[in-house]
């Protein structure tokens, strides 16, 4: 791809401030890093992915409201995290994170544990304990 052919079909990336680095050849045939704000095919894929995540979050919300899952399960999914990632960020074991995704275990968390989880998720304790 030539430098002047790098797609600039901004939509998702443009509005988020995120940019892609693409490699294209200049007039001398040398590779250069060119910033792109996206391209249509990627925008369609990202739209589909975010829509799927949103739908899955709505299902998890229902499970939280029914008392089956905890708000932690919702926030993990909403923030595209796994128990393994949160374990690494928070210092808690993966096993504990998985347990706390169940409402009956989540309600037993102490204030300090909630604060540590919220900090690792970069949300407030109030957000962590609700569906906001």
- Give the pLDDT of residue 103: 97
In order of their start, the domains of the chain are 3-38 (no CATH), 53-128 (1.10.260)
5-47 residue pLDDT tens? 776 776 655 566 666 778 888 888 888 888 877 677 777 888 8
Could you identify the residue written with the tokens 């998985």?
Answer: 98
pTM: 0.74
44-90 residue pLDDT tens? 888 899 899 999 999 999 999 999 999 999 999 999 999 999 999 99
Average pLDDT for 105-109: 97
């Amino acid at each position: 791809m030539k430098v002047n052919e790098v797609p600039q079909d901004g939509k998702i990336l443009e509005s988020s401030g995120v940019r892609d680095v693409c490699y294209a050849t200049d007039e001398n045939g040398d590779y250069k890093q060119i910033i792109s704000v996206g391209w249509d095919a990627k925008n369609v894929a990202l739209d589909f992915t975010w829509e799927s995540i949103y739908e899955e979050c709505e299902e998890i919300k229902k499970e939280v409201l029914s008392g089956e899952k905890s708000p932690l399960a919702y926030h993990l999914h909403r923030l595209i995290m796994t128990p393994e990632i949160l374990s690494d960020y928070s210092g808690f074991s993966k096993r504990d994170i998985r347990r706390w995704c169940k409402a009956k275990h989540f309600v037993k968390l102490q204030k300090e544990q909630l604060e540590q989880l919220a900090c690792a998720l970069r949300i407030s304790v109030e957000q962590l304990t609700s569906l906001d």
